[in-house]
Chains A and B, each alone.
Chain A
């Protein structure tokens, strides 16, 4: 079946650097994408989402970029902090028919060194 995947399973950065986490998706019918953050021992927490009619969306210290041509999205974290250390998942769905059914990527482990 079609799935969402990540290029890099681990990412280590220094505190204050910018982080970029990448995600490739294969389902061309996907029209809604979400980034989740999962800290150790906790459930995934929503970070930011983007619809397929947009190519960029910004939140607080985070930006999601969507390139539908190559089926790629990325999560940029500005001025990364130790508290950003976690596993980051991208997820995709077809908004109108999803019923809460998300397809998740395998995750990227972000480690921020002080």
Chain B
């Protein structure tokens, strides 16, 4: 299936546990990013990557790590989960460029994480 694939769709963790949210895209997009979505709020950027080997922090990076070893994959790691990280996480990708529609992010279906 073409697009952005996220796994798992649902996950429950205990405080202090670690886990990795997986994200893969098959559109050969250079740019990938992770957002979190909390009730009553828009999506907030956690980390982003402009290409393999290059990552940077977004608006809310604390408690999360990322790496980009390949163009296709952009995993998000929670090192020590906290209840404040209970959220829905979205991975997105796009290609660079300034033509119309180039900034249109393609989103995955989301991963719902609950930290107890």
Contact = CB atoms under 8 A, between A and B. Distances in A.
Contact of B105 (A9, A41, A100): A100
B100 A51 contact: yes
Nearest to A1: B59
Interface string A15-56: 000000000000000001010000001111110010100000
A99 B43 contact: no
* Among B42, B98, B106, residue most surrounded by chain A Cβ atoms (within 10 Å): B42
Given A96-B98, A107-B41, 7 more contacts: A34-B104, A41-B110, A46-B106, A93-B103, A99-B56, A100-B92, A100-B93
Q: On chain B, which size bracket covers the interface?
A: 20 to 34
A101 B45 contact: yes
Interface residues of A, number: 28
A8 to B, nearest CB: 13
Interface of B: 4, 31-33, 35, 40-45, 48, 50, 56, 58-59, 90, 92-94, 96, 98, 100-110
A34 B48 CA distance: 19
A86 interface: no
* Among B4, B41, B103, residue most surrounded by chain A Cβ atoms (within 10 Å): B103
A41 B37 CA distance: 12
B103 A32 contact: yes
Contacts of A100: 31-33, 48, 50, 92-94, 103, 105
A16 B17 CA distance: 50
Contact of B48 (A41, A89, A96, A99): A99
A4 interface: yes
A5 B108 CA distance: 23
